[in-house]
Every structure is written in C-alpha cells, then in structure tokens.
Amino acid sequence: MLTLLSGLAFGLSLIVAIGAQNTFVIKQGVRGEHVGAVVAVCALSDVVLITAGVAGAGALVQAAPAVLTWLRVAGALFLLAYGGFALRRAWRPGALHADTSGGAVAVGPVVATAAALTWLNPHVYLDTVVLLGSVAAAHGSGRWWFGAGAALGSLAWFPALGLGARLLRPVFARPAAWRVLDLLVAVVMVALAVQLLRAV
C-alpha cells in the first residue's frame, strides 16, 4: 500500500504542472466540448507510457537520443502552430463566439490534438518513461505497485481537471474572457516550444 501511495504521489507531481496537455484539457473543459474523449486520450496515454516505463522502456529511450531530438523539433513546431492559432483566435472577435458553442468542432480533430500534445511532447518520455521508470525500478518487485499508483494519479487527475474546468463557464460567458484564455494558451505553447528548441 505504501508503494502504491508513493507511486500516486510521484505520478501526480509529474502531471499537475500546467503544460500544453493540461492547458488543452482545461480549455476543452471550459468549452464543454468532447471533454470525455480528451480526458480518455490523456489518461490512457499516460497509463500506456507509465506501463512502458515500469517495464523498462526508459533504457531504450535513453539509448536513442536522436529520436528525442526529432521529437523535440516536431513537438516544438506543433506547439508553435497551435499557439499561432490561439493567438489568431484572440485577435479575431468573430472566432470567439465559435468557442462558446459546444459542438463547433468535430471530435476527430479534438482527439487528434489531444494525442499530439501528449505523444509529440518529448518531456512525457523523459518524465513518465525514463524518470518514473527509474524510480519504479528502485522498488524492485514492488515496481508494478508503484506504477499502478502513478497510473491511478493520471486516471484521477485528468477527469478532475476536465470536469472541474466547467465551473469556470460563467466567467467565459463573456467574449473578453475567451480572448484572455487564448492569449494564455498562446503564451504557454510558444514558451514550451522555445524550451524544446533550446534543448535540441
């Protein structure tokens, strides 16, 4: 039980920080648009990555630095493009109204964006696969309990984040609030992209 709780605490410490993935979940939660699908993609992706890390895939990631370099470049380009779209929405008042209509965007593009923000982020491999996998390995035969705890953290965090964001809907009934959110999204995405490119 102690190992499970340790994994839960460690897993939450890695995913609670606001980054590209969490920012997207918050935005979809506020919009009330395909929240369940986004939460499922993010949570299940984390479970897969945690399982890979506990199984020892971290050693393979460390042995292939070229793969991480390409992931950094691809992730940075994607984040820059996503940030650019957010900035354009903030500057075009007409686009803000589309954000308040629940079914404005089909589920496919939304799920694809959630998946890209997860799987094109090299930090997810360094944190979830390498770092978490290494800490789990230190628990010896209890490493799978540690991994289960970390997976539970993801399975609890993303639904809480996505559903909790709905409480902000009254604030976002005003177009000006959407402008601020889109500006925040753009800043976060561009900052993360620059961070990734500096690491190449």
Packing angle, helices 20-31 and 175-198, rounded to 10: 160
Number of H helices, E strands in the chain: 11, 0
pLDDT in tens, 26-41: 889 988 889 999 999 9
Whole-Å CA distances, 26 to 43, 55, 56, 91, 111 = 14, 31, 32, 20, 14
Q: What is the pLDDT of residue 18?
A: 66
Per-residue pLDDT of the chain (200 residues; tens, 9 = 90+): 788 998 898 888 878 766 788 889 988 998 888 999 999 999 999 999 999 988 887 666 667 677 767 777 887 888 888 888 888 877 875 544 445 444 467 899 999 999 999 998 877 887 888 888 888 887 888 889 999 999 999 999 999 999 998 888 887 777 787 788 888 888 888 887 888 788 77
Q: Which domain holds residue 194?
A: 2-198
pLDDT for 105: 78
pLDDT at 77 (0 to 100): 86
Token pair for residue 49? 């990555």
CA–CA gap between residue 10 and residue 22 (Å, rounded): 17
| Helices (H), ranges, 56-140 | 57-62, 65-91, 93-99, 107-119, 122-124, 132-137
- What the block records as the tokens of 12 is 């939450």
* Cβ atoms 134, 140 nearer than 8 A: no
pTM of the complete model? 0.75
pLDDT at 34: 94
CA–centroid distance for 195 within its chain: 16
Residue 98 confidence (pLDDT): 42
| Structural domains in the chain (count) | 1
